[in-house]
Amino acid sequence: MTEASDIEVVVFDVLGTMVDEPGGLRAALHDAVPAADDAAVDHLLTLWREHVEHEQQRIGKRDRPYVNSELIDREAAHRVADRAGLTSPKAIERLATASRRLEPWHDSLAGLARLAGRFPVLGLSHASRATLLRLHAHAGLRWHQALSAEDVRAYKPAPEVYRLALDAAGCPPERVLMVAAHAWDLRGAQAVGMRTAYVRRPGGDAPKSSDTFDWRLNGLDELAAVLAATENRTGA
């Protein structure tokens, strides 16, 4: 079992793990298309998320040159607008930048602050540098360092994205803990030797029975408590 005394740096996924991405996008879609009922908004959200996932996978397979998350979000916004009959350029542009205005989960700010008092904490996200800057300001997330996959022109689970965090951490991968609400993300981190903690969030990607993450937790408060308790047991 991994002990907290083995961990030097904690790295967090941002979208979906620290902020409510599905809820924020759903709210932005309601604002953009106020006549749409919940079922219609859910359909538009699925259309949005399928486009983003598909394009990131195409980039990962080198079927498409790299473009950052802002461009992919803008493409998704136009696809949604075409489906919903939305024609206002201002409304489409606001929808395209919805990822800048996502709200933190109820435990994100306090949990992050608690962990930052014990470890260096890094954010590691698909979101572009410009999106991250505005999202962190909006949500109130405070990192020792925030990293965008844009810096390596790739999307997780490409190993170079996790190595971006490892280079920043400056220690062996087995001493770096990756925290995410997406099992696929944690599998990518495991592939480069990082330790892993799954945190349950609505709309996340749940682990399979075959996944062997170091911890499976219900929130950041639980993560902070587990790491603190483990430190206390080892006398760290």
Residue 24 pLDDT? 97
The first and second tokens of residue 9, run together, are 């740096």
CB atoms within 10 A of CB 134: 15
- How confident is residue 235, by pLDDT bands cut at 50, 70 and 90? very low
Residue 2 pLDDT? 57
pTM of the predicted model as reported, rounded to 2 decimal places: 0.93
Chain centre to alpha carbon of residue 208: 19
Q: Among 78, 79, 101, which residue's Cα sits nearest to residue 28?
A: 101
Domain 22-101 classification at class level: mainly alpha
Highest mean pLDDT among 3-7, 121-125, 222-226: 121-125
What CATH superfamily is the domain 4-20+102-234? HAD superfamily/HAD-like (3.40.50.1000)
pLDDT tens track for 66-109:
999 999 999 999 999 999 999 999 999 999 999 999 999 999 99
Domain boundaries, the chain: 4-20+102-234, 22-101
